[in-house]
Amino acid sequence: MAVGIFDSGLGGLTVLDVVATRLPEVPLVYFGDNAHAPYGVRTPDDIYDLTTAATQRLFDAGCDLVILACNTASAAALRRMQESWVPPGKRVLGVFVPLIEALTERQWGDNSPPREVAVKHVALFATPATVASRAFQRELAFRAIGVDVEAQACGGVVDAIEDGDMILAEALVRSHVDALQRKMPSPDAAVLGCTHYPLMEKIFQDALGPDVKVFSQASLVADSLADYLTRRPEMIGAGRESAFLTTGDPGRVSNRATQFLRRQITFTAA
């Protein structure tokens, strides 16, 4: 009855942590492709190949449903995977849609035509590959009209977080917020379009100011997954054990993950 959660590195652990609290009865298999992280500077074809390989490994581990807890993979690979790769009886879901549904105040699964919403000016902070894909804007257009999105590619932030250098990460976040505000001085809302960024949410909020509502993903994805499994309980796979898998060095990744979540996490080689 396992569900798979994939990320190129450690950022998806922010999603796993909330999902584990929200759905304690569901075993979770986490796959971190740490040997090839970060994905944010890779080509779309490269991201697709790496993401499909990781997802297949999670299918092999007994997961029928895999969450791409990686915005870059969701942006660059998910649609292509769903259209031409995902085997019958399996599902792969991304992290954009729950975020956009919360931003536009639409119910989970609301497929009505796009309409005007309260927010008009949205700042998107994401990796260079996510920004280049324009996947966020495409998904938003399915649900809302009249929303101006200004995207800021936040180079270096993921690397700094993965390296545990939070002083550098904070400096980079403030620099990227400053660059965004030169293009869009007064956003109504800000979207943290990378699962690493919840660790810097307070810094983003402080830099943006109290009048900007900041949307982060972990709790939204957990709520969406819980709702999905209520409607589709057959998508809980056959796996019985939770696990943490990595393509990187298990000892090093375990140490970083333990620091990341502030609890003991032990990875094994994928």
Which are the catalytic amino acids? 70, 194
- The CA distance from 14 to 173, in Å, is 18
Q: Which of 265, 247, 243, 270 is nearest to 255 (CA)?
A: 265
What tokens does 25 get? 């009865």
Please state whether beta strands 144-145 and 115-116 pair in parallel, antiparallel, or not at all (unpaired): parallel
What tokens does 32 get? 């971190």
- The CA distance from 139 to 133, in Å, is 11
Q: Classify residue 165 as exposed, middle or buried by CB count within 10 Å of its CB (0-12, 13-18, 19+).
A: middle
- Residue 12: what residue type? G
| Buried/exposed code over 84-111 (b: 16+ C-beta within 10 A; e: otherwise) | eebeeebebbbbbbbbbbbbbebeeeee
Crossing angle, helix 201-208 and helix 166-183, to 10 degrees?
Answer: 40
Could you tell me the CA-to-CA distances from 123 to 177, 189, 204, 258 in Å, in that order? 9, 6, 11, 31
